[in-house]
Amino acid sequence: MSVIHADNVHKRFGKVHVLRGIAFRIPEREGAILLGANGCGKSTLMRCMNGLARPEQGSIHVHGSNVANCSQRKLREVRRGVGMVFQNFNLVGNLSVFQNVLYGGLARHRSFFAITAPLASREERAYAMHCLERVQLARCADQRADQLSGGQQQRVAIARVLMQRPSVVLADEPVASLDPKAAREVMNLLWGVVREEGMTLLCTLHQLDFAMEYGDRVIGMKAGHVQVDRPMGQTSRDELQSLYEGNVRVDETPSDAVTPLRRAS
Ligand SMILES: Nc1ncnc2c1ncn2[C@@H]1O[C@H](COP(=O)(O)OP(=O)(O)OP(=O)(O)O)[C@@H](O)[C@H]1O
Give the tens place of pLDDT for each residue, 62-98. 999 999 999 999 999 999 999 999 999 999 999 999 9
Closest CA to 229 of 63, 77, 68, 34: 34
Asked if residue 56 and residue 96 are part of one domain, the reply reads no
Phi and psi at 243, nearest 5°, equal -65, -20
| Domain annotation covers residue 189 | no
Residues with CB under 6 A from ligand 1: 13, 16, 18, 36, 38-44, 250-251
Average pLDDT of span 12-37: 96
Asked if residue 254 and residue 174 are part of one domain, the reply reads yes
Instruction: Find the DSSP H helices in 29-168.
Output: 42-49, 72-80, 97-102, 122-134, 150-164
Domain count, the chain: 2
Q: For residue 264, what pLDDT band results from cuts at 50, 70 and 90?
A: very low
* Proportion of the chain in helix, strand, coil states, percent, rounded to 5: 40, 25, 35
* Residues of the domain holding 245: 1-81+167-179+199-265
User: Over the chain, what is the mean pLDDT?
Assistant: 92
Asked if residue 43 and residue 172 are part of one domain, the reply reads yes
Percentage of residues in the chain with pLDDT exceeding 90? 83
Atom of ligand 1 nearest to the CA of 14: 4
**pLDDT attached to residue 260:** 65
Contacts with 126 (C-beta within 8 Å, 6 or more apart), sequence order: none
Decide if pLDDT at 2 tops 60: yes
Q: How far is the CA of 121 from the centre of ligand 1 (A)?
A: 41
Asked if residue 35 and residue 158 are part of one domain, the reply reads no
Q: How far is the CA of 35 from the centre of ligand 1 (A)?
A: 14
Q: Could you give the CA distance from residue 23 to residue 99 in angstroms, rounded to a whole number?
A: 38
Phi and psi at 93, nearest 5°, equal -60, -35
The pTM for the full model equals 0.92
Please check whether residue 48 is in contact with residue 55, taking contact to mean a CB–CB distance below 8 angstroms: yes
